[in-house]
Amino acid sequence: MHKNPKSLRMIAGVANVEVPVVNNHDTWLQKAFYNKRSTPICSTTSASKKLSRALQDVMTLLQEKDDIFFERHHCRRCWFIRSGEEVFFEIKQNLVLYQGKEPRTYDFTTMYTCLQHDKILRNMRTAISEAISYQRQRTKANPIIRDLPNLNWFIEHIEFLISNIFLSNNTGNLKQQIVGIPMGTNAAPEIANLTLYADEAEFMMT
């Protein structure tokens, strides 16, 4: 309920193995939790997993390129945070700089569900093309990064993923999500990061 504006959030999960008797007085949430597990007829999970792994390599290449850019120009174009440890390390390395300041955190609760699909495709094409171009001229041996798939492979997988997001319920209604991406799909963090990266990098260069 912490969306802005406040609204319900979809919950992804599995049912309890031991399914109790559900009476008419149980809430809809209890009934949903205790429903028997279902097997999807078709799933985007396999494509999303492959895409996630490839996009992680894209992010690694862009971070490496930005490190080189930062050494030369003392300016960042890329801010990927993959774990909380990275934030704590940054703070510990700059205790004097942050002394007396109040840290703030921001929850991107509406980011995944508000990304426009045409913007995702446009920005992902820009970010991936930059990574592919950098890999071709890359001279570093470490870290070892496998060759990226071609741009068409990425775009086909992204288009397949964002064009096949459907939701059905027990009333038989089937709806397609045409704005945003589901937070639970494997490639969602990488898609969101790279979509924003394209805008942030452009902003820093202007």
What is the rounded distance in angstroms from the CA atom of residue 175 to the CA atom of residue 132?
Answer: 36
Q: Pick left, alpha or beta for residue 179 (phi over 0 → left; psi -120 to 50 → alpha; otherwise beta).
A: beta
Reading the block at residue 65, the tokens are: 């390129």
Chain-centroid distance of CA 85 in Å reads 19
Backbone angles phi, psi at 181, to 5 degrees: -130, 150
- Total-model pTM: 0.73
The string of pLDDT tens digits covering residues 140-158 is 877 788 899 999 999 999 9
Beta bridge partners of 23: none
Higher pLDDT pick, 103 / 4: 103
Beta bridge partners of 174: 168
The string of pLDDT tens digits covering residues 21-70 is 445 555 545 555 555 555 555 678 888 999 999 999 999 999 999 999 98
Neighbours of 69 (CB within 10 A): 17
Q: Which of 26-30, 105-109, 165-169 has the highest mean pLDDT?
A: 165-169
What is the rounded distance in angstroms from the CA atom of residue 69 to the CA atom of residue 53?
Answer: 25
- Mean of pLDDT values over 101-107: 70
Q: Where are the domains of the chain?
A: 45-205
Q: 135: which residues sit within 8 A by CB, 6+ positions away?
A: 61, 145, 147, 148
